Structure 1
Amino acid sequence: MIYSNIIHKQSNKQIHCLWVINIRINFKDTVYLLTGWLTLFVIGTDLFVMSPLLPFIAEEYEITPAVAGWLVTAFSLMYAISAPLFGWLSDRKGRRLFIVLGLFSFSLSNFLTAVSPSFAMLITSRILAGLSVASITPIVYAIIGDTALPERRGVWLSTVVSGHLMALWAGAPVGTLLEQFLGWRSVFISLAIIAAILSIINFRVWASINKVHPGEAQRKGNTIKIISAVSVTTFWAIAMYALYVFLGTGLVLYNDFSSSELAASITAYGIGAVIGSLSSGRVTDKIGARIVSIFSTAMLIGILVLLGFFFSSGTLVYFLLFLWALIGYTSFTSYQARLAEEFPETRGMALALNNTALYIGITLGSMLGGYIIANWGFFALPFICSGVALISSLISTKRRG
């Protein structure tokens, strides 16, 4: 009887210890995810808030909107060029260093944006911002991929991606509202302060995670293979953004949307993007990143065709925009999880190149969209984007990892 009581007490102690350990692990996981989510939300807000602020910036510096648009171009080009370098370095030197330094320089660049006395200095500050973000965004994806258990990687990546997408319909509108009360410079002062705080938080949170792959493992990484893999994202981005860039124009001209209706349609798109990103993680972890990425990209072909046929259908377009973003960002998020799974030794490089491919696709998409509208009209655009999505789907299906 005494022996039985001792065994029972030992068993209870073991259960209690396991319970405490489980709570600590869950708390730590929550901190990792929340840190990654907040970091990408702030980065996304900086990216998406620039568009609605451009008219105010152009007015203050007495330049045309087209010239002001170079602020976005300079940012994007610097990001696309430098992201692979930081991804490569993070695979060798560790992720934490570059995330923290990136957030510190991002804070500085936003402060310079806020106090720039000339347009030349403003452009310089956005170049620094693009360089900074290149050392943050893909490396946050990589460190989350390093940290998550294989069976939870899809959920973790989809969660932090949702932070970036949330900025599209939450962060940017808040920034625009702040401009109305305190001026556009206040937006960048706020971002600078928040980024400085986040640099300290990231320094503390990732202190125990500084994964560096040995040189032998690095040599196994095939750069050509990675470039081939991320071409899927380039064609995906062309298919999505060739239409998205001119979405407002199409809705106003061919659906006679008012400003409030236009805002509601973009909100429907943004909500679809966030839900698609979050839900894809759980599905990916259950049935596999490859299957989800292939299936969702194939569905993207169909939804773009539907948009082409029913774009002028009035209120139905809200649902179609929601569905388009839901499917599109399920495809993007699941493919990121697939890359993280297929290139474990060079995860930083693979995800950085994937982000470069994304920006290249966005740039090419905006150029293609303008050309198509000028030569064949707006209604040809969804169908051509569907054809580009087909190319992305074929490459994704053919790839074996």
Structure 2
Amino acid sequence: MSDASQPSRNQNIKILTVRSLLYGIFQRIFMVIRQPFILSLNPSVAVMGFLEGLGGFQGLIPAFFQPFFGWISDRMQRKPFIVLGSILMELSLILFFVSGLTSNFFLIVPAVILTATSLLSIPIIDSLIAESVEKSQRSVAYNKILLATMAPGIFSPFIGGILADRFGFISVLAIGIVIQFIIIFLLVSFLNEGPFEKGAVNFSELRLFILRNFSPSRHLRNLYWMNAIDAISVGLGPLILYGLLRLQFNYSNSQLGILATVNAVSMVLTQIVISRRISNYVTKKLLLLNSVGYLVYVLGIAVSNNFLIFLLLEILMGILIALWNPAHKTLLANSVNKSARAEAMGRVTLYRGIFGFPAAFIGGILYEHFGYSAPLWGCFIFGIALTYYIYFHIHIKDKRLIEK
């Protein structure tokens, strides 16, 4: 990267940080109220799980969209697709708002689909971050962006929960519409393209692209299977946890907001502590530590009915996420060429979506037929499988994936 590109590179990180901060304000609220809002329109838990599996943040639709648009952006430009993702999210929020205003559940389905489609920009943003800093600074940059996304969680979920309890869900959705409009303005006006060589889109390569998705390079394959196992475990319970807590313990939106706030505070404090040393943690030991910590978390939410225990468990989960996300993204970014980086990051979502899609639906069915703890014990079993897989099949050297 040339020195001439330094101002635009610095501006990209600044704009993406501000975008993440604004997005985080609403995303953390939306994460808390989305499932209670959907349940307020009287679908079954299984239907809610199906919608989460179809269009949630690790759903089937983003699973297919992210690798494809990542592949295209590797050959064209990053900015148009990042802007497109924000526009689709705005349309989604408008549909959610109208659904709440009219108490019409059927508008939820296209709203969820639009939310899912908007997530096409995630691997593209991750790639633009990597291209806007030197290699040695990637972990720090990812951590900075994640910190900006999570920092609003210190206050926004609790405030959002209070607003939802006092003024209804649509008051929160209206705030989200305004925030998303500001994000679109910032991206259109100030975001620059990344400093990378653009190629031509040759759709005759599409068949090879599809084959690569289902037959990835050997040194990356185990990472994708690790994510697939994790997606099944997360989908069975944690993905629908706020809905389960609302139904099982009748927690208010404010209480769910407190849980999300504690999670965010834990995550932010952990990131502040490790922000300058995160690149040192790209190791197999970290992956194993996270998987064991996840087992403790799932076991706790499966056997507890105490709100204080749930608070302590959210502290643990915040620490685990803060360690996992930047290290995981850095490991993948270091293990591929920049010309295929967005495609590779999108492929993580593909594997998570394909295998996680039925998990949330199955988790809902298990809850309806066997009670609250049934889907969570399923999470625990797959968590054990994840720990086993990491120990025997994930190999890292010099912060890159290797074959053995």
Report SS of the residue matched to 1:282.
coil
The CA deviation at 1:272 is: 3.1
Where is the helix percentage greater, Structure 1 or Structure 2? 1
Judge conservation of contact 1:95–1:143 (CA < 8 Å) in 2: yes
**Cα distance per residue 1:228-286 (max 9 Å; x no partner):** 533222223344454535767998999x997688765554434334445565553333x
One of 298, 303, 318 as aligned partner of 2:293: 303
Judge conservation of contact 1:230–1:357 (CA < 8 Å) in 2: yes
Matched with 1:10 is none
**Cα distance per residue 1:73-128 (max 9 Å; x no partner):** 44233222212111111111111010112212321232233224543333223212
- Tell me if 1:350 matches 2:344: yes
Judge conservation of contact 2:35–2:242 (CA < 8 Å) in 1: no
Identical columns (%): 18
Matched with 1:197 is 182
Judge conservation of contact 1:277–1:333 (CA < 8 Å) in 2: no
Q: TM-score if structure 1 supplies the norm length?
A: 0.73
Q: Structure 2: how far apart are the matches of 1:186 and 1:262? A: 17
Q: Which amino acid aligns with 1:38?
A: L
Equivalent positions of 1:351-390 (< 5 A) are 351-360=345-354, 362-363=356-357, 365-366=359-360, 374=370, 380=377, 383-390=380-387
- Larger Cα-atom Rg: 1
Range with bigger deviation, 118-127 or 145-154: 118-127
Judge conservation of contact 1:144–1:157 (CA < 8 Å) in 2: yes
- Tell me if 1:188 matches 2:173: yes
Report SS of the residue matched to 2:290.
helix
Q: Structure 2: how far apart are the matches of 1:379 and 1:390? A: 17
Any gaps of 5 or more consecutive residues in structure 2? none
The CA deviation at 1:201 is: 0.5
The verdict on how the C-alpha distance between 1:171 and 1:352 changes in structure 2, with shifts beyond 3 A counting, is farther
Range with bigger deviation, 363-372 or 79-88: 363-372
The CA deviation at 1:168 is: 5.9
Q: Structure 1: how far apart are the matches of 2:234 and 2:342? A: 25
- Tell me if 1:54 matches 2:51: no
Q: Which amino acid aligns with 1:146?
A: E
The verdict on how the C-alpha distance between 1:131 and 1:386 changes in structure 2, with shifts beyond 3 A counting, is closer
Compute the RMSD of aligned alpha carbons: 4.3
Any gaps of 5 or more consecutive residues in structure 1? 1-17
Judge conservation of contact 2:35–2:240 (CA < 8 Å) in 1: no
Q: TM-score if structure 2 supplies the norm length?
A: 0.73
Q: Structure 2: how far apart are the matches of 1:37 and 1:119? A: 30
Q: Structure 2: how far apart are the matches of 1:386 and 1:378? A: 12
The CA deviation at 1:357 is: 3.3
- Tell me if 1:122 matches 2:101: no
Range with bigger deviation, 165-174 or 102-111: 165-174
- Matched residues, number: 371
Matched with 2:329 is 336
Q: Which amino acid aligns with 2:14?
A: T
Q: Structure 2: how far apart are the matches of 1:299 and 1:250? A: 27
Judge conservation of contact 1:112–1:125 (CA < 8 Å) in 2: yes
Judge conservation of contact 1:307–1:317 (CA < 8 Å) in 2: no
Judge conservation of contact 1:113–1:188 (CA < 8 Å) in 2: yes
Range with bigger deviation, 384-393 or 102-111: 384-393
Equivalent positions of 1:60-209 (< 5 A) are 64=44, 66-67=46-47, 71-76=51-56, 77-116=60-99, 118-134=104-120, 136-166=121-151, 170-209=155-194
The CA deviation at 1:146 is: 1.4
Matched with 2:319 is 326
Q: Which amino acid aligns with 2:95?
A: L
The verdict on how the C-alpha distance between 1:367 and 1:389 changes in structure 2, with shifts beyond 3 A counting, is farther
Judge conservation of contact 2:39–2:243 (CA < 8 Å) in 1: no
Q: Which amino acid aligns with 1:299?
A: L
Q: Structure 1: how far apart are the matches of 2:266 and 2:311? A: 10
The verdict on how the C-alpha distance between 1:126 and 1:209 changes in structure 2, with shifts beyond 3 A counting, is same
Q: Structure 1: how far apart are the matches of 2:241 and 2:31? A: 18
